[in-house]
Amino acid sequence: MKVKLLRYLANLGYGTRRDVEWMLREGRVTDADGEVLYGDDKVPHEVIRIDGEPLDPAPGMVVLLNKPTGVTCSTKDQGRLVYDLLPERFARRAPNLSTVGRLDRDTSGLLLLTDDGQLLHRITSPKSGLDKIYEATLAQDLRGDEGAIFASGELMLEGEHKPLLPAELEVTGPRTARLTLHEGRYHQVRRMFAAVGNHVEALHRAHVGGLDLDGLEPGQWKLLQPADIERLFGR
């Protein structure tokens, strides 16, 4: 750890500098052997304990969340936010824990969050080529020609001047389908079905790259490990 303990704990969201100073004065911050630590100390992340418990993950953490509907990917909007589903400290971390892209309020499913800016950029960059798989429930029966239209590479969304990349549609029922995208435009799935005269009533993101929800229930989350990141990029 290159910074002093006082600043480090504040950056991890354990409170303001004053809050952390109080914790230190009370002797609540120790090493793994129970020896009291002080604000000017510089010690490895993994040996620090607060009230006997290990710290939250070090900077560079990645969270996989199964976002429920009715929850917003924002820090300030009204109503329920994705940060309400995580430990309160996570919202106070610096660097910020940011969503990797967004799912709109009415879309559920796989959402990644990270405080690693380089990783966030790598995931969202078109160069990454990460597929995203969505499961859609529609207001009307599928006509049968949607798959060819979506795969053509010629579909133009309203208000845009560049056609969409080809996308793969798998019909799973008269009004349900699985759509694989290779890019991420604003409300893309909803706008694609609108372009062929249909309306998305429910939308769920099931996969991003090599990751799925791995049995997480709506509102549940887990920390990703290096092997998970490798799987995300298909390694």
Residue 153: inside a domain:
yes
Q: Active-site residue 104, yes or no? A: yes
CATH number at residue 31: 3.10.290.10
Residues 95 and 135 in one domain: no
How much is the pTM?
A: 0.92
Helix (H, G, I), strand (E, B) or coil at 109: strand
**9/118 same-domain check:** no
Q: What is the CATH number of the domain that holds 181?
A: 3.30.70.1560
Q: What is the pLDDT of residues 113-155, one digit of tens each?
A: 999 999 999 999 988 889 999 999 999 999 999 999 999 999 9
The CATH number linked to 101 is: 3.30.70.580
pLDDT of residue 76: 78
Q: How far is CA 215 from the centre of its chain?
A: 16
Supply the pLDDT for residue 1: 64
* Structural domain includes residue 60: no
Provide the H-helix boundaries in 133-195: 146-151, 188-195
Radius of gyration in angstroms for the set of CA atoms belonging to the chain, rounded to a whole number: 22
The answer to whether the bond into 54 is cis (omega within 30° of 0) is: no
Q: How many domains does the chain have?
A: 3
For residue range 180-206, what is the model confidence (pLDDT) as tens digits? 999 999 999 999 999 999 999 999 999
Coil, strand or helix at 50: strand
Residue 72 lies in a domain: yes
Q: Has residue 32 been placed in a domain?
A: yes
Domain interval for residue 154: 131-208
Q: Answer yes or no: is 61 within a domain.
A: no
The answer as to whether 217 is a domain residue is yes
Same domain, 39 and 107: no
Instruction: Examine the domain organization and report whether 37 and 81 are in the same domain.
Output: no
* Torsion angle of the four alpha carbons 191, 195, 198, 200, in this order, in degrees rounded to the nearest 10: -10
Same domain, 77 and 100: yes
Bridge partner list, 178? 135, 170
Indicate whether 42 and 151 sit together in one domain. no
Residue numbers in the chain where pLDDT is lower than 70: 1, 235
Number of C-beta neighbours around residue 12 at 10 A: 23
Which residues is 67 bridged to in the sheet?
109
Residue 62 lies in a domain: no
Residues 159, 188, 80, 96, CA torsion sign: negative
155 with 200, same domain: the answer is yes
Q: Which of 77, 104, 106, 141 is catalytic?
A: 104
pLDDT at residue 222 in the model: 97
